[in-house]
């Protein structure tokens, strides 16, 4: 067991954003968290990653390093792609190797000497993904990694997810794009209005879509 979440609840004032979430996350698996915009996915991930306070417990395995990629790219002005990656590696206590960075960049083809804030959206997402890959974490949490990413980034991301599984890593990712995760994730949890309401593990994308439309969206609930 890499992460054990029990009764995690997050409120902003009187509004409950995440309602009593419990789940076990193990090594060698990819977990998908689905839900509409505003369902609580991003808040849940920030709580698990330790960025926000919450009620309940999140127990992370001993010596388990957790990497987190948020859904919205942000880069400071006048910071190059290379400088951003080096900063992310130093923040995790990792050795900075220009050789390793440049080798990985053969897949991403990013202008690392240019300011990251001036990249296109697809390039920004690739840079975030590249920095995360180089950190070599035990658990990887990614919020909407397929959203806004370009074709090259999508290919590399899918290959990396399969590689992480074979290495015994744990991946937790969110998406509202059903086809993007239905064939990758070992377990798929559906959150509706902050609460877990369904498990779609082992179901096809068409079956998931039909179930969601019939049970949760058709009545506007």
Q: Please report the domains of the chain, with CATH numbers, ordered by start residue.
A: 11-74+137-217 (3.40.50.300)
What pLDDT score was predicted for residue 186? 94
pLDDT at 180: 81
What is the pTM for the complete model shown?
0.92
pLDDT along the chain (221 residues), means of 10: 93 95 96 92 96 96 94 93 96 92 95 97 94 96 92 90 95 89 92 92 89 75 54
HEC profile of the chain: CCEEEEEEEEEECCEEEEEEEEEEECCCEEEEEECCCCCCHHHHHHHHCCCCCCEEEEEECCCCCEEEECCCCCCCCCCEHHHHHHHHHHHCCCCCCHHHHHHHHHHHCCCCCCEHHHCCHHHHHHHHHHHHHHHCCCEEEEECCCCCCCHHHHHHHHHHHHHHHHCCCEEEEEECCHHHHCCCCCEEEEEECCEEEEECCCCCHHHHHHHHHHHHHCCCC
């Amino acid at each position: 067991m890499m992460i054990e979440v029990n009764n995690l609840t997050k409120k902003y004032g009187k509004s409950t954003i995440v309602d009593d979430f419990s789940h076990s996350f193990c090594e060698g698996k990819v977990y998908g968290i689905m839900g509409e915009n505003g369902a609580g996915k991003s808040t849940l991930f920030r709580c698990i990653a330790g960025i926000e306070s919450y009620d309940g417990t999140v127990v992370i395995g001993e010596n388990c390093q957790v990497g987190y990629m948020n859904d919205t790219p942000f880069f400071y002005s006048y910071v190059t792609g290379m400088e951003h990656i080096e900063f992310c590696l130093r923040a995790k206590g990792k050795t900075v190797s220009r050789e390793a960075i440049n080798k990985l960049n053969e897949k991403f083809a990013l202008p690392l000497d240019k300011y990251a804030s001036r990249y296109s959206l697809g390039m920004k997402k690739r840079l975030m993904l590249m920095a995360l890959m180089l950190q070599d974490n035990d658990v990887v949490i990614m919020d909407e990694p397929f959203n806004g990413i370009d074709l090259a980034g999508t290919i590399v991301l899918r290959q990396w997810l399969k590689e992480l599984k074979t290495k015994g890593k744990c991946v937790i990712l969110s998406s509202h794009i059903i086809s993007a995760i239905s064939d990758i994730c070992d377990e798929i949890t559906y959150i509706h209005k902050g609460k877990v309401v369904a498990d779609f593990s082992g179901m096809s994308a068409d079956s998931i879509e039909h179930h969601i439309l019939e049970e949760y969206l058709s009545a506007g609930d």
